[in-house]
Amino acid sequence: LMIMTVCLDNPKGYICRVQCGELMEVPDNAENFPDILTILASVLIIKAVVQEIIKTVQAKKQTVKSFKRAGFRKRPRNKNEHRISPCLSTPKKKKAK
């Protein structure tokens, strides 16, 4: 069994980068068994990265959703807010001759 880490990112929004890690082989005999620690460490790091990405994506969806809904909510008027009556008109300046 062999494993390789592959990272794909999108740094500028329109081009994707692929970065391949080293190819690691799961040992098939007891002499090379300590090599499994490198593989397990890589798997744990990848798992942590994936969990962080999932958290970020879910938070972003919630933020976008609440931002889009914010304009549709009716906010209560502030009782202390001063309002200008609609019957007032703007004074006109006299034209200079």
The 10s digit of each residue's pLDDT in 59-75 is 877 777 776 666 665 55
C-beta of residue 20 within 8 angstroms of C-beta of residue 4: yes
pLDDT of residue 35: 85
C-beta of residue 26 within 8 angstroms of C-beta of residue 39: yes
Count of domains forming the chain: 1
Question: Does residue 78 belong to any structural domain of this protein?
Answer: no
C-beta of residue 39 within 8 angstroms of C-beta of residue 4: no
Which band of pLDDT confidence, cut at 50, 70 and 90, is reported for residue 87? low
Question: Does residue 67 belong to any structural domain of this protein?
Answer: no
What are the φ and ψ backbone dihedral angles of 9, each rounded to 5 degrees? Answer: -135, 170
pLDDT of residue 81: 61
Q: Which of 1, 3, 2 is nearest to 46 (CA)?
A: 3
Cα–Cα distance for residue pair 7/36, rounded to 1 Å: 21
Question: Does residue 33 belong to any structural domain of this protein?
Answer: yes
pTM, two decimals, is 0.53
36-62 tens-digit pLDDT: 898 999 899 999 999 998 888 888 777
Containing domain of residue 33, as a range? 2-60
Question: Does residue 46 belong to any structural domain of this protein?
Answer: yes
